[in-house]
Amino acid sequence: MQIETIERKAVTSAKSSKLPEQIGYGVLYLVLAVVAVIQIFPLLWLMLFSLKNNEEIFNLAPFAFPERLRWENYEKVWTQGHISAYFFNSVWMTVVSVAVTVLLASFVTFALTRMKWKLQSFILGLFMIGLMIPVHSTLIPLFSLFTKTHLTNTPMSIILTYIAFNLPITIMIMLGFYYTLPREVEEAAVMDGCSVNRIFFSITLPMTASVLSTAVIINMIYNWNEFIFVNTFISSDKFKTLTVGIQNFIGQYTTDWGAIGATLMISILPILLAFVLLSNRIVEGIAAGSVKG
């Protein structure tokens, strides 16, 4: 009987000790649920916005359903509004810019963390200075430079600008991760006669897959949503991207707000899809690169 009493007391004590922890988890999950709902609300509002006409947008409540779902807004922007061409421009400019930026940043980070050479710290400092340069302060100098080199109104002006402005932040993201990579694998490869190029492409680059995913999604979000450079350097509809193409539905006397909402929804979907597919890799890259082991 005494043993059973002791066991009951132990079980009761264990349950009572876990109660505050369970309450804490419950409060945490409640807060996270509220934050998730707050994050989802703008997407729901935009979805409903894109399926209304101007009269419903201004007369109905923000989250009120329209009389009927106007899917023709999407058809209109895709065919009549040339959004298909703008979408293609956004895709290929973003892909090229991200690929070149991540590859160059990997080269630089490998050289800074795996090699010993003069002015190493100075070069790293120059790249970090790039983080402090305001975007707006470079518009006039860049426009003047691209005009003299006949690059205005060409995709090259946008791609070069994206690469230059994204390199510093991409290098900074990769630095912390590269410092955690074990050198023993590379040293063994050197003993086996591997060249520097083969070490980088066959050993180091595959080991940085998680941080590469983080860098890719961050670059992709910036490039996809960028407006200022495209609006400044591109005047031809042939090379405009989605963010600038939205202006086609803003007229002097009337504005098709439903079409604008549909265009915004189309522009958001690729970013959401990429983030969902790469979310685990992003967390791994940030967690691994935040601690120097």
**Longest C-alpha distance within the chain, in Å?**
95
Sign, Cα dihedral of 276, 278, 281, 282: negative
Question: How high is the pLDDT of residue 187?
Answer: 79
- Angle at which helices 72-79 and 83-114 cross, to 10°: 80
Percent of the chain with pLDDT over 70: 85
The answer to whether the CB of 146 falls within 8 A of the CB of 157 is: yes
pLDDT digits (tens, 9 = 90+) for 70-96: 888 888 888 877 788 888 999 999 999
Judged against a pLDDT cut of 90, whether residue 148 lies above it is answered with: yes
Beta-carbon neighbour count of residue 33 at 10 Å? 10
Distance from C-alpha of 202 to C-alpha of 225, rounded to nearest angstrom: 33
Question: How high is the pLDDT of residue 99?
Answer: 95
Distances (CA, A) of 46 to 3, 41, 232, 259: 64, 9, 27, 11
Distance from C-alpha of 36 to C-alpha of 117, rounded to nearest angstrom: 48
Question: How high is the pLDDT of residue 149?
Answer: 93
The pLDDT of 207-235, averaged and rounded, is: 88
The answer to whether the CB of 230 falls within 8 A of the CB of 240 is: yes
Q: Which span out of 82-86, 100-104, 242-246, 251-255 was modeled with the highest average pLDDT?
A: 100-104
Structure tokens at 212: 């590469």
Q: Which of 122-131, 267-276, 280-289 bottoms out in mean pLDDT, i.e. has the lowest?
A: 280-289
The pLDDT of 156-185, averaged and rounded, is: 89
Judged against a pLDDT cut of 50, whether residue 291 lies above it is answered with: no
Question: How high is the pLDDT of residue 267?
Answer: 85
Higher pLDDT, 7 or 8: 8
Question: How high is the pLDDT of residue 292?
Answer: 45
Question: How high is the pLDDT of residue 286?
Answer: 57
pLDDT digits (tens, 9 = 90+) for 176-218: 888 888 888 777 888 878 888 888 888 888 888 888 888 888 8
pLDDT digits (tens, 9 = 90+) for 53-67: 888 888 877 778 888
Distance from C-alpha of 48 to C-alpha of 52, rounded to nearest angstrom: 7
Distance from C-alpha of 252 to C-alpha of 250, rounded to nearest angstrom: 7
Q: Which span out of 5-9, 35-39, 166-170, 238-242 was modeled with the highest average pLDDT?
A: 166-170
- Angle at which helices 209-225 and 257-289 cross, to 10°: 150
DSSP states along 127-184: HHHGGGS-SGGGHHHHHHHHHHTT-TTSHHHHHHHHHHHHHHHHHHHHHHHHHHS-HH
Question: How high is the pLDDT of residue 269?
Answer: 85
Question: How high is the pLDDT of residue 16?
Answer: 55
